[in-house]
Amino acid sequence: MSDNSIYLDHAAATPLDARVLEAMAPYFTELFYNPSSPYQPAVEVRRAYEDAKDRIAHCIGAKGDELIITAGATESINLAFSGVTGHVVTTNIEHDAVLQAAAAHEVTFVASDAHGRISAESVRAALRPETELVSIQLANNELGTIQPIRDIAAVVREVRTRRREAGETTPIFLHVDASQGIGYLDVNVARLGADMMTINSGKIYGPKQVGLLWASRSVVVKPQIVGGGQERGLRSGTENVAGTIGFARAMELVTATQKSESKRMADLRDSAERALVTAFPEAVLSGHRKHRLPNFLHISFPGIDAERLVFALESKGVLVATGSACAANKGTRSHVLTAIGLDPEVADGSLRLTFGHLSTEENTKQALEHIIEAVRREQERMAR
């Protein structure tokens, strides 16, 4: 990244933490062995791999052998849906990976409120006797809105108990897509009440194309990639040793700084929010006021073309997103902004600013000056 640019898109991708790269480095070169090989150096590589899984598991209050290491969140989400034969309940503001995986099933999409929040009661209302999976994101990747996972888990648990007491054998599980929010929220699986959880290393300053599905022992996961029988037969292929060791280091680092970074992010974000709302009282803030990731700021400038804004800002070295990276790429309006009922004219003027490791008070201040100037210029252009 150029020294002059100011990166405000940490929800799209994060740079590898230097300490993560340092942890991975030996496993690229001198410790390159196939963990399935029989000789001692390879056995040590296997041990380091298992140890990394244990360390990741520790961060979420689970056991290492309950983790299935995948090539990122998308594969993990697909795997979470693999064992389902019946009905699925999810929301209309999930990531594309969940929406697409759900589409292969009979599915009910629960509607979010105007702040991107899903109520446990609306999930309850969507459940059917044949519902096998409820899949809800921990936090929304466009708005940062945090979902009431514990309340939703309580509903799922209640239904499970009721079914058991009635002698019904249809299982029901809660999958939590925690692709956003790791490092800022409590992700202890027992406290959340989840049965499955997806985590993505590439969003937490770890290597890309590494992720995991945590699945409690009661969940049936059907392997999608078969072969050598790695990951307890649930995901074959020679293990991603370096990637998993990097993932573990990244998890430990963001877990250790959860409190301080959450505070630092909220301060930066709140100051940015104040500055922008003061400059543009007509601006629309989206995402839940209270239940929102501390590093997310979603703001719309009605009547402005956000894509033009992104390019104008880029010329000043300020890198921000319009909606999500995925939606931006397709040139279609974000399904999340449509779902929360944002007026198209407002939605099309939306920026998503996501703060992170690369953010400082100084560069946030600079970025705000550029943003305010660029929005003013666009407004003037539109008024002409």
Q: Please identify every residue annotated as catalytic.
A: 326
Q: How far apart are CA 322 and CA 284, in angstroms?
A: 14
Residue with tokens 């998890």, as numbered in its chain: 251
Give the interface size with a copy of itself as a residue count (CB under 8 A): 72
φ, ψ of residue 26 to 5 degrees: the values are -60, -25
CB of 38 to a copy of itself, least distance (A): 5
CB of 309 to a copy of itself, least distance (A): 11
32 binds a copy of itself (CB under 8 A): yes
> Which of 161, 111, 159, 167 lies closest to 131, judged by CA?
159
Terminal alpha carbon distance of the chain? 36
Q: H or E stretch including 326?
A: helix 325-330
4 binds a copy of itself (CB under 8 A): no
75 binds a copy of itself (CB under 8 A): yes
19 binds a copy of itself (CB under 8 A): no
Q: Are strands 106-110 and 131-137 parallel, antiparallel or unpaired?
A: unpaired
73 binds a copy of itself (CB under 8 A): yes
Give CB contacts under 8 A, 24+ apart, made by 373-376: 374/309, 374/312, 374/313, 374/316, 375/279, 375/280, 375/301, 375/304, 375/309, 376/279
Q: In this chain, which stretch among 108-116, 182-190, 256-264, 312-320 interacts with a copy of itself, using CB under 8 A?
A: 312-320
311 binds a copy of itself (CB under 8 A): yes
**Among residues 111, 154, 225, 266, the one that binds a copy of itself under rule CB under 8 A:** 225
Cα–Cα distances (Å) from 110 to 9, 88, 158, 341, in that order, read: 28, 11, 19, 14
202 binds a copy of itself (CB under 8 A): yes
Site string for a copy of itself, 235-274 (x = CB under 8 A): -xxx-xxxx-------------------------------
Q: How far apart are CA 195 and CA 9, in angstroms?
A: 30
CB of 226 to a copy of itself, least distance (A): 4
Q: In this chain, which stretch among 6-14, 111-119, 184-192, 375-383 interacts with a copy of itself, using CB under 8 A?
A: 6-14
Burial 164-203 (b: 16+ CB within 10 A, else e): eeeeeeebbbbbbbbbbbbbbbebebeebbbbbbbbbbbb
Q: What is the DSSP letter of 179?
A: S
Q: 321 and 9 in contact (C-beta within 8 Å)?
A: yes
Of 193 and 246, the one with the shorter C-beta distance to a copy of itself is: 246
61 binds a copy of itself (CB under 8 A): no
349 binds a copy of itself (CB under 8 A): no
Site string for a copy of itself, 322-341 (x = CB under 8 A): x--xx-xxx-----------
344 binds a copy of itself (CB under 8 A): no
**Footprint of a copy of itself on 93-122 (CB under 8 A):** 95-97, 100-101, 103-104
CB of 289 to a copy of itself, least distance (A): 27
37 binds a copy of itself (CB under 8 A): yes
Interhelix angle for 241-256 vs 40-59, to 10°?
30
